[in-house]
């Protein structure tokens, strides 16, 4: 979770009200944070939400507190003046780092605290929200040292020379990746490319080499700087646009003026930033159901105003407009969360349990436990793996075409960004990671997969499954059938096998598992090319079936 250092006096100045430290410790809960330490004027803040980059600065925290402790409520308003700056995006960058969004911010009054927060916010957004600069790299430049227009293009590794930030000598992009500390740290993001991206002005002055380093000439912002040019580069507007909005909103809260920039691509042009409010709708009954409170519509409206929304009651629903710097509102429940935060979690009184009931194990868990005992008696070892995985494991390595699955919109890691829809890849991964262990290896897992189901509120459905696998030098289809047969007999279920085919299994050595004339799973011997994808040398036989 993001950890910040902010000035107490600066924070109170932004709030517009002097607040003693004990009160600040309570008020900072509105920004989902805690004050971990106080050293003179410096507050060490631990924020508990990794999906709210708008809170990762003194400006963002002040914005949230201000709505609760002052009369400044409702949607923050940001005016954008149409600027004259044009950024030309060369078609060449589409092969490397294709997208950018930009802004100009004028009339900044930079002091030590402002500069500290600007640098801290830039780094936190790029590191946490921007996946360590992969999805978002941010550059901030002294605009008066730039000669417009600006071009976003690529150069060869030895194609240009400039002085990187905090260095004294000119270096080529290749030398920066080899010798500069930031080049060594982030050089892997440009690995494998024949040319590297740069921002360059009309006087051939390099602004930066994203996502690595700014130039020392234009990329050094200090207390003398008044106007800045800001760019965010990456691969997806869903990351870039919120990142830029967060930065410019924070500076605008300092009294600076925002100017738009025209970004011209080879096939379109866009004006950025876009700070038009977004819209969502929430049912009044739903707010009370989820919160457990009995709030009147006017009370909900008041609490939403404090959370910096503009709410309007429309019958039994409330239409809310919320700031463009927020990208975390994906479901009505997210709006309800802000209602409860404004109300105060500590003010929610717990209700006594009205009905006395006898606790017992969930039926599915009870069945899973019994199945686990049966499989262990059959000589199989139980494993536990993650429900989260990635497309490479789920599809490419299994020789399967991609299909509709449940994905995480803002994953923390590329290795864990989708929910598995079958379990056999998890067993294959286990074998791949345990080739040093003595064979035969006999494993099973009881766990959930997640299927797309448009009929459900969440549009997903959990399915409990049993999967088993054997890896050994001398192994055949009959070995895994023997395990299935032993399980079915112990479970007292009649079943039959019906020949079928699948791209993960050897043709003629797999079947569907049918119970009560319904297909409940598959069984078979894994194809050699799938084994090679997992770098396995031993044959593998598996089965997978739905417990329900």
Query: What is the full per-residue pLDDT of the chain (548 aa) written as tens digits?
Result: 788 999 999 999 999 989 999 999 999 999 999 998 988 899 999 998 888 999 999 999 999 999 999 998 999 999 999 999 999 999 999 999 999 999 999 999 999 989 999 999 999 999 989 999 999 999 999 999 999 999 999 999 999 999 998 888 999 999 999 999 999 999 999 998 999 999 999 999 999 999 999 999 998 898 899 999 999 999 999 999 999 999 999 999 999 999 999 999 998 999 999 999 999 999 999 999 999 999 999 999 999 999 999 999 999 999 999 999 999 999 999 999 999 999 998 888 888 777 777 777 888 999 999 999 999 999 999 999 999 999 999 999 999 998 989 988 878 777 888 999 999 999 999 999 999 999 999 999 999 999 998 888 888 999 999 999 999 998 989 999 999 999 999 989 999 999 999 999 999 999 999 999 899 999 999 999 999 999 999 999 999 999 88
Burial of 271: CB neighbours in 10 Å, binned 0-12, 13-18, 19+: middle
Q: How far is CA 468 from each of CA 39, 163, 371, 444, 523, rounded to the nearest angstrom?
A: 57, 59, 12, 4, 9
Residue 377 domain flag: yes
Whether residue 528 contacts residue 468, with contact meaning beta carbons closer than 8 Å, is answered with no
Domain boundary among 272, 292, 319: 272
Please tell me whether residues 477 and 535 are part of one structural domain: yes
CA pair distance 85, 57, nearest whole angstrom: 28
Q: Which domain holds residue 44?
A: 3-69
Provide the CATH number for the domain around residue 327.
Answer: 3.30.56.10
Please tell me whether residues 268 and 287 are part of one structural domain: no
Please tell me whether residues 239 and 298 are part of one structural domain: no
Q: How far is CA 116 from each of CA 6, 113, 119, 223, 289, rounded to the nearest angstrom?
A: 8, 5, 5, 11, 43
Backbone angles phi and psi of 337, in degrees to 5: -60, -40
Residue 224 domain flag: yes
Residue 353 domain flag: no
CA pair distance 43, 46, nearest whole angstrom: 10
Residue 357 domain flag: no
Please tell me whether residues 405 and 536 are part of one structural domain: yes
Total domains present in the chain: 4
Q: What is the pLDDT of residue 48?
A: 86
Residue 495 domain flag: yes
Whether residue 105 contacts residue 248, with contact meaning beta carbons closer than 8 Å, is answered with yes
Domain boundary among 221, 251, 272: 272
| Tokens found for residue 359 | 């606790």
Provide the CATH number for the domain around residue 389.
Answer: 3.30.930.10
Residue 196 falls in which region: left (phi positive, over 0), alpha (psi -120 to 50) or beta? beta
pTM of whole model > 0.85? no
| Tokens found for residue 486 | 């032993």
């Amino acid at each position: 979770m993001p950890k910040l250092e902010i000035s107490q006096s600066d924070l109170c100045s932004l709030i517009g009200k002097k607040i003693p430290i004990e009160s600040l410790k309570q008020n900072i809960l509105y920004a989902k944070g805690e004050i971990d330490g106080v050293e003179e004027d410096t507050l060490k803040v631990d924020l508990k939400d990794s999906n709210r980059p708008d809170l990762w600065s003194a400006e963002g925290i002040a914005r949230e507190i201000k709505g609760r402790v002052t009369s400044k409520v409702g949607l923050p308003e940001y005016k954008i003046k149409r600027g004259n700056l044009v950024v030309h995006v060369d078609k060449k960058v589409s092969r490397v780092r294709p997208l950018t969004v930009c802004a100009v911010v004028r009339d900044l009054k930079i002091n030590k605290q402002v500069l500290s927060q600007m640098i801290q916010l830039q780094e936190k957004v790029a590191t946490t929200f921007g996946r360590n600069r992969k999805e978002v790299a941010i550059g901030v430049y002294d605009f008066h040292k730039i000669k417009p227009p600006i071009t976003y293009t690529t150069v060869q590794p030895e194609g240009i020379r400039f002085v990187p930030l905090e260095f004294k000598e000119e270096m080529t992009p290749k030398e920066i990746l080899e010798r500069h500390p930031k080049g060594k740290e982030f050089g892997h993001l440009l690995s494998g490319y024949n040319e590297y991206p740069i921002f360059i002005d009309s006087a051939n002055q390099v602004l930066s080499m994203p996502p690595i380093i700014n130039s020392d000439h234009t990329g050094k912002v200090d207390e003398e700087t008044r106007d800045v040019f800001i760019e965010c580069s990456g691969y997806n507007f869903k990351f870039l646009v919120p990142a830029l909005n967060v930065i410019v909103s924070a500076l605008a809260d300092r009294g600076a003026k925002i100017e738009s920039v025209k970004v011209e691509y080879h096939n379109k042009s866009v004006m950025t930033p876009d700070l038009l409010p977004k819209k969502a709708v929430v049912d009044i009954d739903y707010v009370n159901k989820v919160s457990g409170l009995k709030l009147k519509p006017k009370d909900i409206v008041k609490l939403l105003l404090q959370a910096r929304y503009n709410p309007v009651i429309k019958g039994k629903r409330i239409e809310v407009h919320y700031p463009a710097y927020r990208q975390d509102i994906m479901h009505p429940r997210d709006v309800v969360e802000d209602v409860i935060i404004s109300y105060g979690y500590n003010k929610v009184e717990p209700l006594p349990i009205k009905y006395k009931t006898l606790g017992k194990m969930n039926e599915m868990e009870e069945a899973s436990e019994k199945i686990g005992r049966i499989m262990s008696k059959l000589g199989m070892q139980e494993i536990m793996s993650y429900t989260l995985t990635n497309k490479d494991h789920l599809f490419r390595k299994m020789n399967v075409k991609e299909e509709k699955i449940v994905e995480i919109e803002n994953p923390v890691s590329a290795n864990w960004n989708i929910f598995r829809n079958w379990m056999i890849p998890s067993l294959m991964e286990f074998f791949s990671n345990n080739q040093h262990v003595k064979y035969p290896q006999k494993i099973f897992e009881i766990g959930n997969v997640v299927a797309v189901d448009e009929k459900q509120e969440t549009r997903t459905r959990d399915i409990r499954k049993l999967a088993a696998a054997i890896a050994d030098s001398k192994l055949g289809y009959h070995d895994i059938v023997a395990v299935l047969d032993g399980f079915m007999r112990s479970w007292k279920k009649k079943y039959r096998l019906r020949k079928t085919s699948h791209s993960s299994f050897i043709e003629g050595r797999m079947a569907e598992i049918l119970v009560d004339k319904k297909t409940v799973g598959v069984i078979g011997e894994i194809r050699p090319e799938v084994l090679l994808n997992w770098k396995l040398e031993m044959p593998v036989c598996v089965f997978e079936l739905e417990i329900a």
